[in-house]
Each structure stands twice: as C-alpha cells, then as structure tokens.
Amino acid sequence: MLRQLTSSPKSRLQLERKLAERNVPGDVAAAVLDRFEEVKLVDDAEFADMWVRSRAQSRKLAKGALRRELADKGIDPDTAASALEQLNDDDEEAAARHLVERKLRPGTDLSDRAERDKTMRRLASMLARKGYQPSQAFRIVGEVLDAASGS
C-alpha cells in the first residue's frame, strides 16, 4: 500500500479500490486508511489541490473537467470546490486561447466560410473536451480566428 503512495499521491477512494482489488476486507481497509489519514499519508484536500495545479498546467483543463476528474477520484464536492478556487478565470481563458492558437493549422484559409466554420467547430470541440463551456469555447475560438485572419 505504501508503494502506491510513493509513485504518486492518491485519494482515499483510489486506495480503497486498490485494497479491494487485493481482496482486503472492507473493515481492515477502512482501519488502514483511517490511520493513513491520521498520520497525513492520505489527505484528500492536499491531493485535490495538487491535482488541480498539475492538470490545469499540463493539460490546460478547465474547471468543469477538473471537477469531474476529482469526483471520479472520490473527492467530495466541497473539497473539490476549494481546490478549484486556486484557478482564476483569466488564467483559464488564457490557457484556452493558447491552446487554440497552438492548434490552429498554419495556412488555413479563414476567408473561405466553409473552411472557417469547419475550423471553428474543430477548435471549439477541442476546448469542450477539455471542459470549457460551449459559449466560452466559441467566443475564444472566434476571437483567435478573427485575429489570425486580420479582421
């Protein structure tokens, strides 16, 4: 179990799942995890803070996607909300804009309406997969495309 914690931080639920895979009885697993929490080897709030910082920076995920990932890891909504407070809207928007600029294919003919619409949908879909709201995604993509086409 300690080896699980040395490779990367884990939430309590992740460790519960690992113990269940190894057929550890539920009461024994609960006792072990309670003790790990007492000595701060397992701390869901600290895990959530680290997860948000790491995933927001490396994958440029929006708060919505991060909230879902934290829920999948067993982080309660209040702890997740607290961890997500470290991200501000301006940084999130700058990350989205950077992603769109990076993914915009050079030489795309933005003066061709069909090509522009196709590019708009592709880039907005990419942002949606990363947890950005559709209205925000389309607005940011539109602004980047306008800037790229000189409009």
Alpha-helical regions (H) of the chain: 2-7, 12-21, 26-38, 44-58, 63-72, 77-84, 89-103, 113-129, 134-149
What residues does each domain of the chain span?
2-84, 89-149
User: Which pLDDT does position 149 carry in this prediction?
Assistant: 84
- Which CB contacts under 8 angstroms, 24+ apart, belong to 107-111? 108/148, 110/145, 110/148, 110/149, 111/149
User: Which pLDDT does position 96 carry in this prediction?
Assistant: 94
Query: What is the pTM (predicted TM-score) of this model?
Result: 0.81
Residue with tokens 């069909």: 114
Residue with tokens 């701390």: 43
48-98 tens-digit pLDDT: 999 999 999 899 999 999 999 999 999 999 999 999 999 999 989 999 999
91-148 tens-digit pLDDT: 899 999 999 999 998 888 888 999 999 999 999 999 999 999 999 999 999 999 999 8
Name residues whose C-beta falls within 8 Å of residue 28's C-beta, 6 or more positions apart in sequence. 19
